[in-house]
Amino acid sequence: EDFDEFITQADKERTVICYCYYGNSSLGVCAALQERGFTNAYSLRGGFDAWKNADG
């Protein structure tokens, strides 16, 4: 499924969490989603690497 197809079919009020390895690329994707009307799009701060290394 590509990005444009996702944009047209997804529920724009559903929570979407964007992540990449370090959290840089996901910021751009999250911003693009928000610009297209996604009201609950979030980028995982620090990416997968930070999540993997988090305490707890």
Report the catalytic residues: 20
CA–CA dist 56, 47 (Å, integer): 16
CA–CA dist 53, 10 (Å, integer): 31
Give every CB contact of residue 54 below 8 A, 6+ residues apart in sequence: none
